[in-house]
Amino acid sequence: MALPPKTNEAFLREVDDELRRDQLVGFWTRYGKLAIGLGVALLIALAGFFYWQHHEEQTAGVAGEQLQSAYDALSDGKKDVASSTLAPLAASGRPGYATLARFTQADLLLQNKNEKGAAAMFAAIADDSAAAKPFRDLALVRQTSAEYDTLKPQAVIDRLRPLAVPGNPWFGSAGEMVAVAYLRSGRRDLAGRMFGQIARDANVPQSIRQRSVQMAGVLGVDAVAQSEDVKAQ
């Protein structure tokens, strides 16, 4: 005898619900431990991330205090204290603070007339891919300045030419050294042109621009009026 339609639908729903319960029980029996393990692993990963973030913030704060302590020691004339503070910070592996510490160490070497040691330290910063590019470029400029008298003019030109262009943050310093290198190699026209470009660049420090105006004039390039126009802007 066939079941009435309503009774048939109710029976089918009961069978379907029972099947789903069996499937759920089977899934939990088979994968329940794995699901719990994944959940625990996720919680551990989140906890680890938050701990790392907190640790990084604390470490950055400590590094900043160490760097400021070194600067304070230098202001007080305590170079030995500053050096002992800078050493672990320079080797800390924290790119920003470590780079600043290494720059300061190199400056201390320059103050002690150790140009060779300072140049080597600046060179290491310039080659450090972990350091920001503006820092690497500045280190290259400082390295070249420290060993300028020992370099051949063409070596200076080849090294600094990419930085000796208007718009580069270090155009003034790099361009001035390149211009002098042109002079040393007998290329007065290129030297005059470079000094003229520096004199016309409003972003170059005023002291460098003033020297460039004078040198350009000596080389037959009238950069005085152009430099005054830049000032007015």
Tell me the whole-structure pTM to 2 decimals.
0.66
- The yes-or-no verdict on residue 105 having pLDDT over 70 is yes
Task: Give percent above pLDDT 90 in the chain.
Answer: 42
pLDDT value at residue 6: 46
Yes or no: say if 122 and 139 are a contact pair by the CB < 8 Å rule.
yes
CA distance 224 to 31: 82
| Confidence label for 103 from pLDDT (cuts 50, 70 and 90) | confident
3-state helix, strand, coil in the chain (%, to 5): 80, 0, 20
Mean residue pLDDT across the chain? 76
Phi, psi (degrees; rounded to nearest 5) at 220: 85, 15
Q: pLDDT tens for residues 134-149?
A: 989 999 999 999 999 9
State the Cα angle at 103 between 99 and 107, rounded to 5°: 170
- The yes-or-no verdict on residue 43 having pLDDT over 60 is no
Query: What's the alpha-carbon Rg for the chain, to the nearest Å?
Result: 34
Q: pLDDT tens for residues 83-100?
A: 777 788 878 777 678 888
